[in-house]
Structure 1
Amino acid sequence: MSIETDSPETLARHSAKMAKKKAARDKIMAGKSGEKGLIIVHTGPGKGKSSSGFGMILRCIAHEMPCAVVQFIKGAWDTGERRLLTENFGDLCQFHAMGEGFTWETQDRERDIAAARAGWEKAKELIRDPEIRMVLLDEINIALRYDYLPLDEVLDFLREEKPEMTHVVLTGRNAAEGLIEAADLVTEMTLIKHPFRSGIKGQAGVEF
């Protein structure tokens, strides 16, 4: 099967269109020179919130930027990301698994609150360290949703004590409106299809 080639006129129009787009993009980028530590929120019912956060952690590691992870819910799980980071990049990335599982697994609110509080105290310690460039607070939105942590306390700390150049990533469904308003970058993962609905369980390499 042969592939038709575009005419010279079509190629010329395409080149002119792309040149115009590049000039407009370059003009936009020329006005973007500032840098700051960002508050980043990954939320929504779709898959990929934690995965995206760990992708950013790997970027930091690739740039030799010290970083840290605090897991608020999945601490009892043996996850691939936990193995990878602790076994290969412990010199650049601290990993603290503080949770004991989802709230329906522990069935003990006081224990869940204590675990969330311990996770938040560790998170504050890490965020305060100016040498650490990014801190991922994995599934903290769940702890906030169930009132295991006071939202105002978290927002006040991020506003008043986070070092200027430190990035903080907060993941989990149902991010609070106050957190969304305070964030610099918010991404909502939407759910279109999920194999769980077809009777397929979570699998290594995909879910953990």
Structure 2
Amino acid sequence: MTESTPPTPAARAARRKRTPLVIVNTGNGKGKTTAALGTLMRAVAHGFKVVMLQFIKTTEDPRFGIYGEIQSAAKLGFEILPLGNGFTWDTNNPEQDRQTARQAWEVCKEKLLSPEYDIVALDEITYAFTFGWLTTDEVIETIRNRPAHMHVILTGRDAPPDIVEMADLVTEMREVKHPFTTRRVVAQVGIEF
């Protein structure tokens, strides 16, 4: 279904009869964001209104250009909103990173509380917990107050125990072997971005 053929009111009503889930993709292995994107892609095919909000990625990274998932989402007719400053674990300005995460969270709350969306994905949100930019309590409270039809996906390493406890489905990606570790192969177009 494309943007030019919106779902009928009857189709939208049928979708809202679902059991909403909170899904967490965590772990030290690759594939957390990719799994969330796969779910969003599948949902869009059924006429769901979806959005991914990215906590770390910026609109355009000087090293990589525009991320592939953003380009694909535009072609498929759904939103990905990069709300971060880039890869912040090497930051020189932790206060700016905290402010950026707080601003990102305000956008996320707006989307999570809007009846417009069927699925909201919070990509790499666990880093906001790890670095102390957000509390799990505020995120859990907002997720619990979301519209009754909405699924939520959270991604990132080291999902805190209370996020795991709240979730309905938790998948842990485990790294078994990585080309950077074994052969120093760096991030590549079409694989990592």
Deviations 1:33-59 (A, max 9, x none): x93211110000000000001111101
Which residue in 1 is equivalent to 2:160? 176
Which residue in 2 is equivalent to 1:58? 41
1:84 to 65, 69, 72: 72
1:167 to 127, 140, 151: 151
Residue 100 in structure 1 maps to residue 88 in structure 2: no
Deviation at 1:95, TM superposition (A): 2.2
Which residue in 2 is equivalent to 1:155? 140
How far apart, CA to CA, are the structure 1 residues paired with 2:44 and 2:92? Answer: 36
Deviation at 1:107, TM superposition (A): 2.1
Deviation at 1:119, TM superposition (A): 1.2
Greater per-residue helix proportion: 1
Deviation at 1:127, TM superposition (A): 1.4
Which residue in 2 is equivalent to 1:18? none
How far apart, CA to CA, are the structure 2 residues paired with 1:98 and 1:169? Answer: 16
Deviation at 1:174, TM superposition (A): 0.3
Deviations 1:67-110 (A, max 9, x none): 11110001243210011112x134xx222110011223432111
Residue 195 in structure 1 maps to residue 179 in structure 2: yes
Structure having the higher Rg? 1
Indicate if the aligned counterparts of 2:112 and 2:142 stay in contact, CA closer than 8 A.
no
Q: Under a length normalisation based on structure 2, what TM-score does the superposition of the two structures give?
A: 0.84
Paired-residue identity, %: 42
How far apart, CA to CA, are the structure 1 residues paired with 2:47 and 2:84? Answer: 27
Deviations 1:139-179 (A, max 9, x none): 001111111111111111112x1111101100000000000
Please identify runs of 4+ aligned residues in structure 1 that moved more than 6 A: none
How far apart, CA to CA, are the structure 1 residues paired with 2:176 and 2:80? Answer: 31
Deviations 1:114-147 (A, max 9, x none): 1111111111111111121001111001111111
